[in-house]
Chains A and B, each alone.
Chain A
Amino acid sequence: QSVLTQPPSVSGAPGQRVSISCTGSNSNIGDGFDVHWYQQVPETVPKLIIYNNSSRPSGVPDRFSASRSGTSASLAISGLQAEDETDYYCQSYDSGLSGFVFGSGTRVTVL
């Protein structure tokens, strides 16, 4: 069971906005540790799309945005496109485990 909880799936029509939650606790997100997000197309390598809660690496479309508040974080995808249909993971650090933790993962489906 993952320390960071994400919904197994979210869906939306092309052009719509979807949001993925990442719920942690007082030993990780709530303890002030930053949240980062990765996109993983099945059978391919994870790709960093958000770092430090809300920053986008060069080349990541501004359709992707994220935020952190309290013990949770969220990733939003606006103007949903067919190519966004894949898996997304949040990641942070946990002081109780003294190590890094990933979310359980969310599959985005474009209807």
Chain B
Amino acid sequence: QLQLQESGPGLVKPSETLSLTCNVSGGSISSTSYYWGWIRQSPGKGLDWIGSIYYSGSTYYNPSLKSRLTISLDTSKNQFSLKVSSVTAADTAVYYCARAQMGVGGLDYWGQGTLVTVSS
């Protein structure tokens, strides 16, 4: 059974960099059938797509965040990571990592989510 687990600091100061890692177990992050994504949900709000990374290492970033984003893959550790620089209170959210099926498939496995609060 595939499992995803986010990890990282729950509190980040304004203007600093938010860093999260998603550890994948029960399956290979190098599979060509899937890609991996980050989604966030501000308190009491809906879901926002942050970006995604493919087995090849190629990435897609949401243009609204692109200048501040870095998503990377570490196949040796079977994990992928998210960095958001220059954070503000607007970046306070629950951050989810998820697996997406290539083609018409959806996000079929999700991490449990981790709350990141931006505050001094």
Note whether A and B form a binding pair.
no
